[in-house]
Structure 1
Amino acid sequence: MRQSAAIEVLDTTLRDGTQGEGFVLSTEDKVAIARRLAAFGVPLIEGGWPGSNPKDAAFFQRMKGVDLGAARLVAFGATHRKGLRPEADPSVQALLEARTPVVTLFGKSWTLHVREALGVNLEEHLWMIEATVAHLVRQGRRVIYDAEHFFDGFKEDPAYAMETLRVALRGGADTLVLCDTNGGSLPEEVYEITRRVVDTFPRVRIGIHAHNDAELAVANTLAAVRAGARHVQGTIGGYGERCGNANLVSLIPTLMLKYGYAVVPRPRLAELKVLARFVDERANLTPNRRAPYVGEAAFAHKGGVHVSAVLKNPRTYEHIDPQLVGNARRILVSDLAGRSNLLAKLAERGLELEAETARSLLEEVKALEHAGYAFEGAEASFYLLAHRLRGGRLPFVVRAFRAWVQGEARGAWQAEATVQVQVGAEVYHTAAMGEGPVGALDNALRKALLAFYPELEGVELADYKVRVLSGQERGTASGVRVLVEMTDGKDRWGTVGASVNILEASLKALADGYAYVLVKEARAPHQAHKAS
């Protein structure tokens, strides 16, 4: 393991990340993410291409009053256009008007692009690179040169690809970034070519910018670092054009914990999961549960043998301590579980079971999962099951329900539901409307329960998912599993219901969602109002 050597990170989430399909940020989103990246310790934050669109220009204008501490904002742009000098090119002028201390400038390394995309001769393009870099350096900017399509260009014409780097250096660039723009290079190719560049320019900082079209962006970045690259570019979550960019959420902890490089301040690494979630929330995207290091499943253990071992020594099935990246170990409950899973899961909630009760719980979990239940994302339902097997009583029982949809004269459809709920010896019968039958059931159930438990007022449905369980041969008679997430504004918990009747499955999951709060807090019922 290397010690003390530093890797400079440039985050391009706000520029390259926003080129990805479905990844959209407002100006205020970008400002908020820039602040969070700076607080995390990212030294270079690429904010956009001010010469390409008004939105990026507005962002740089907005950032002129924002303090990023030790972090530096970076503007991105291209070499000056054919037939213009740098000082006369509006896009180059826009880079200067962004007033960032650092500029990332890209030029072509592949003769195919020079001739066909730019439509200039090879010598002219070399002059365009050098002249634009020199102009920006004369204006007091640090210039990072992104050698676009470098690996493809090197494989086709290594002499010309290397010459583009030389003229960028001659112009005053202090960092040369080798870009795998098409994302199709292999780690061994990236290593060998990067090694050639590092050997040719031994006193120059060499960087890597990898795309993920072959699922190799992180591997290629690590290969370049092994070859001597000391500047790494990527995005939070790997977002970016086409298949995305190298994922800094994977790269930063790997570089720090596996290779021993200094990347961000070590205490900040524990904020990695929060940072990843923050970016997802700002982009209105669902976090990837299986994301390495920070996903909900990254340190989740399901198999009984695994759980038994990890409880004795976490190193048996965990490659790092999850707390190092702000994550936590999770024990899952399923038909693959052993008693170790169940006991560990219940211990998280402060429950202890005797051996015989644990065996009964395990058998019931397996039987219910065979019938269509799944407790992995429904830990509240599992908690209630254990509570019942320990002799605990549920705070209410749904005795009957009915839901229907009817049309109105103007053509709109309206759902209505009735629910009978028993609390102790009292049965409460109520009805409610909703936009759909499940919504009407939820409204009717809430209405009934609030008569006994007014503290449930702040509890509401946060997410609802349905999965068909049986094969197509059963058609509309197929079983369904309903997974529900509920929230009280602070915490979230999941419940499950399964049935061949989607309304019954939904009501089971909803009822568990409300019952969990009452059992967990040992709430006693109030006097009910008169039945309606």
Structure 2
Amino acid sequence: MTKRKIEIMDTTLRDGEQTSGVSFSVSEKLTLAKLLLEELKVDRIEVASARVSDGELHAVRQITDWAKSKTCSDRVEVLTFVDGGVSLNWMEQAGAKVQNLLTKGSLNHLTYQLKKTPDQHFKEIAETISLALGKGIKTNVYLEDWSNGMRNSPEYVFRYLDFLTVQPVHRIMLPDTLGILTPLESADFISQIVKKYPQIHFDFHGHNDYDLGVANTMEAINAGCRGLHLTVNGMGERAGNAPMASVVAVINDFLPHIDISINESSLFKVSKLVSAFTGFGIPVNKPIVGDNVFTQTAGIHADGDSKNNLYFNNLLPERFGRKRKYALGKTSGKANIQKNLQELGLTLNEEDLKKVTQRIIELGDKKEKVTKDDLPYIISDVLDSGSYQQKAIVKSYVLTHSKGLKPSTTLSMEIEGETFEEHAQGDGQYDAFMNALRKVYRSKKIHLPLLVDYAVRIPPGSNSDALCETIITWENNGREFITRGLDSDQTVSAIKATEKMLNII
């Protein structure tokens, strides 16, 4: 089957920069332009609007100088206006060779914004195109508000297209400027146009106001469009534009008759870089590039993945330079934990695996996030707890810390079946706990070991704040030993380490 080639034009550096609060620096624009063309391998990039600022002029000049050295100047495009040649003069200064001329694609915009007749508008457009031709600048034409034009003034749209198709124009670009199209309308409107002008190259420029940008883009391809306008992370005005990563995945998986040049494995890298430059985080559930989209949380899914990949779909993370993860939390089953243990090169017997699973579920119930890097510490804590017979149990406690008052602890504990309660103050919450504990053991005429060293740390490499480990060194009858406690709260982890000490002695 012969595939039909679709051009991908990335407009992150122009339309994407219309995201509220986003402005790329000169160096950021140049870096992204290189990455988009050379690594992601988009066919074209739209990098700026003419006349915006001196900084924009400098950025475009840097990009066009680089593009010239790579003999790809015709892949760098600039948005221009019907302004008597002012935009074209700006383009000449910037060294740009392709203009994307913004014109009116609906009678409503033409009448109420420009306050001109179609004939006046067409005459000025023809003059602008002719002027560009004389300067060696190629012209593509945007029909701004084209989607509303097709809904409300189709006669005007077709009259305008009749005019454009006899002009020296390379591409006619059909934007759903306000993101109002449904997939059915996208298919219908574009089919009508392509059928009437089969030799013309039409681009579709979708916005995402109703979250239909990807669906509309898919229909535009099927209806005969030859080019698509996309942005990294779906950046753009209001709800943004059709997102690059999602559209690429849809084309590759559902439209086998379509050929695109995009390097899928670079999508995630480019997405992360754009996020870093803009300061706009990527939603964790954003398809293809979100942090969670290749993370299995439910234990049954991890179990299914181990049994003939039952919960895999065609969106394999390796396609996009990513890896599948198995989350650890209250919905984790043994399969989730085994997947993480495999990555760490660890194995546990069935009984120990059950204990570790239960501990992770307990942490998840407390809304704590557990990572793979936390696992060795949880394992150590759980297995260590099973290495002695538990005769001393800290049943409950109240820790108080109030301004102007010394911290205090009320403690209830059980020692070999006998219950004790004590209250004490101290220099800190843990000191108050230890003072209450000493009262309990004094009543049993038992001296507690001396606390020699106290250290707190989080698991190295962990990117969560779920766990902290308290390591306490004790001295008892001239012998030193260490106990560890693990919890999301520092004081509680110290209390757990202390409870282990009580059972050891």
TM range (shorter): 0.7 to 0.9
Deviation at 1:231, TM superposition (A): 0.3
2-side partners of 1:127 and 1:510: how far apart? 78
Change (3 A) 1:306 1:3: farther
Deviation at 1:136, TM superposition (A): 1.6
2-side partners of 1:189 and 1:145: how far apart? 22
2-side partners of 1:257 and 1:69: how far apart? 32
The match for 1:427 among 452, 465, 470 is 452
Rg bigger for which structure? 2
Is 1:327 aligned with 2:322? Answer: yes
**Correspondence 1:79-478 to 2 at 5 A:** 79-80=82-83, 86=84, 89-260=85-256, 261-264=258-261, 268-314=263-309, 316-375=311-370, 378-391=371-384, 427-428=452-453
| Code of the aligned partner of 2:152 | E
The match for 2:77 among 74, 79, 90 is 74
Aligned residue number for residue 494 of structure 1 = 464
Aligned residue number for residue 469 of structure 1 = none
2-side partners of 1:360 and 1:206: how far apart? 62
Q: Is the 8 A contact 1:211 1:217 kept in 2?
A: yes
- Residue 343 of structure 1 aligns to a residue whose secondary structure is helix
Deviation at 1:74, TM superposition (A): 1.0
2-side partners of 1:166 and 1:351: how far apart? 70
- Residue 61 of structure 1 aligns to a residue whose secondary structure is helix
2-side partners of 1:425 and 1:104: how far apart? 78
2-side partners of 1:66 and 1:404: how far apart? 64
- Residue 56 of structure 2 aligns to a residue whose secondary structure is helix
Aligned residue number for residue 5 of structure 1 = 4
Is 1:50 aligned with 2:50? Answer: yes
Q: Is the 8 A contact 2:429 2:491 kept in 1?
A: no
The runs of 5 or more residues in structure 2 that have no matched partner are: 387-398, 405-426, 432-448, 469-486, 495-505
- Give the stretch that moved more between structures: 299-308 or 184-193: 299-308
C-alpha deviations, 1:380-407, integer Å up to 9, x for none?
A: 33442123334499xxxxxxx999999x
Q: Is the 8 A contact 1:18 1:24 kept in 2?
A: yes
| Code of the aligned partner of 1:263 | I
C-alpha deviations, 1:456-498, integer Å up to 9, x for none?
A: xxxxxxxxxxxxxxxxxxxxxxxxxxxx9x98xxx66324059
Q: Is the 8 A contact 1:177 1:208 kept in 2?
A: yes
- Residue 29 of structure 1 aligns to a residue whose secondary structure is helix
Change (3 A) 1:42 1:509: farther
- Residue 66 of structure 1 aligns to a residue whose secondary structure is helix
C-alpha deviations, 1:27-55, integer Å up to 9, x for none?
A: 11111111111122112111101223333
2-side partners of 1:18 and 1:333: how far apart? 37
TM score, norm. by length of structure 1: 0.72
Provide the aligned C-alpha RMSD in A: 3.3
Aligned residue number for residue 14 of structure 2 = 15
Change (3 A) 1:26 1:343: same
1-side partners of 2:185 and 2:328: how far apart? 44
Aligned residue number for residue 31 of structure 1 = 30
Change (3 A) 1:70 1:391: farther
- Give the stretch that moved more between structures: 208-217 or 50-59: 50-59
- Residue 170 of structure 1 aligns to a residue whose secondary structure is coil
- Residue 464 of structure 2 aligns to a residue whose secondary structure is strand
4+ residue segments displaced more than 4 Å:
390-393, 401-406, 416-420, 508-511
| Code of the aligned partner of 1:273 | F
Q: Is the 8 A contact 1:234 1:247 kept in 2?
A: yes
Change (3 A) 1:12 1:350: same
TM score, norm. by length of structure 2: 0.76
Deviation at 1:510, TM superposition (A): 11
- Residue 143 of structure 1 aligns to a residue whose secondary structure is strand
Identical-pair percentage: 21
Q: Is the 8 A contact 2:253 2:314 kept in 1?
A: no
1-side partners of 2:15 and 2:178: how far apart? 13
2-side partners of 1:133 and 1:327: how far apart? 45
Deviation at 1:428, TM superposition (A): 3.6
Aligned residue number for residue 63 of structure 1 = 63
Change (3 A) 1:365 1:131: same
Deviation at 1:426, TM superposition (A): 7.1
1-side partners of 2:123 and 2:274: how far apart? 39
Q: Is the 8 A contact 1:402 1:417 kept in 2?
A: no
2-side partners of 1:293 and 1:372: how far apart? 26
Deviation at 1:302, TM superposition (A): 1.1
Deviation at 1:59, TM superposition (A): 1.1
* Residues paired across the two proteins, number: 423
C-alpha deviations, 1:149-178, integer Å up to 9, x for none?
A: 111011111121122223233221121111
- Residue 285 of structure 2 aligns to a residue whose secondary structure is coil
1-side partners of 2:143 and 2:270: how far apart? 29
Deviation at 1:134, TM superposition (A): 2.9
C-alpha deviations, 1:73-121, integer Å up to 9, x for none?
A: 11111223xxxxx3xx322321333222322111001111101111112
Aligned residue number for residue 394 of structure 2 = none
Q: Is the 8 A contact 1:10 1:231 kept in 2?
A: yes
2-side partners of 1:65 and 1:243: how far apart? 33
1-side partners of 2:316 and 2:284: how far apart? 18
Q: Is the 8 A contact 1:183 1:214 kept in 2?
A: yes
The runs of 5 or more residues in structure 1 that have no matched partner are: 81-85, 394-400, 407-415, 430-444, 450-483, 499-503, 512-532
Q: Is the 8 A contact 1:379 1:493 kept in 2?
A: no
Change (3 A) 1:506 1:123: farther
Change (3 A) 1:142 1:343: same
- Residue 171 of structure 1 aligns to a residue whose secondary structure is coil
- Residue 5 of structure 2 aligns to a residue whose secondary structure is coil
2-side partners of 1:417 and 1:127: how far apart? 82
Deviation at 1:371, TM superposition (A): 3.3
